[in-house]
Structure 1
Amino acid sequence: MKSITYGELTFNEVCEKIKIYTGRDLKGQYVISVGTDSQNIGGITKVVSVIAIVKKTKGGIFFYDIKKVKRINNIRQKIFKETQCSIELASQVMEYINKNEIEASLEVHVDIGDQGETKHLIKEIVGWVMGMGFKCCMKPDSYTSTGIADKISKKGSKVC
């Protein structure tokens, strides 16, 4: 994974950064969110997964991972791939949070909403995420997928 602040990190190093960040203010309210977005660029699909840690009203930090997969043209398949990546990453984060007794809520942010071409996927995607035991946030509240991951996934992104 990568961080603008810390550079290249292993997943375990990311988890340690989460522990340090959430341990600075034990009275603070922290939200850890995981989200993924993807963009087709040439013959590939660039898939960006993000872990964001926000201290309510005080800002936050984020970490990201970029994968390149065979081009996905179908919007349904693309949303399912993004959600799968988010659930897998959130499961790993949840395991770490539980083992280390970190006080933070965990959300999965999905790139769907009740406007546009993804509205017919809401029941399936939200049901899947919630069925896996996570709180599901969608547009306009899914800032990790629709904001951070979206910006990094764009072709001209300076963050790579």
Structure 2
Amino acid sequence: MTPKRPLLRRLFPAPPLTVLVILFWLLMSDSFSFGLIVLGVLLGVVVPLFAARLDREFARIGTLRPVPKLLVVTLWDILVSNIEVARQVLGREERIHPAFIWIPLDIANIHGIAALTSMITLTPGTVSAALSDDRKYLLVHVLNLEDEEHLISEIKRRYEAPLMEIFP
């Protein structure tokens, strides 16, 4: 039989998150009133309760060796993509071929998938749109698709492979 957690721990599963939610709520409010403070405290209690139920997968970290290179690759891709998107937007509209593509995923760790979707979305000209229910495919919108297979292989090589080392 597992021991029951105390009531205070059940109400506040993540006290730092509670404090953070309250602080962000108060910072985003344009004024301070008793009602806003009460609503902030209510959010600070409720949000961590739901977050604790949603986050059932813990982030297992493999190796951090690929992180520096991955950061450099991502920053470089963001820079190059900014220039490319500006060139495309300022150019002739007929030369832009937007498309949605499904990328098959080898990575299974939800935290690694979240990092992958963030990197794709941070890179101008691409947006992660959906993850299949079985987490095996990622739908990505591309501003200008020239070669689908090349784009998929680049995303898998540049982002997914290092993330699979970080999040096994």
TM > 0.5: no
Larger Rg: 2
Could you state the TM-score of these two structures normalised by the residue count of structure 2?
0.30
Could you state the TM-score of these two structures normalised by the residue count of structure 1?
0.31
Name the structure where strand makes up a greater proportion of residues. Answer: 1
Name the structure where helix makes up a greater proportion of residues. Answer: 2
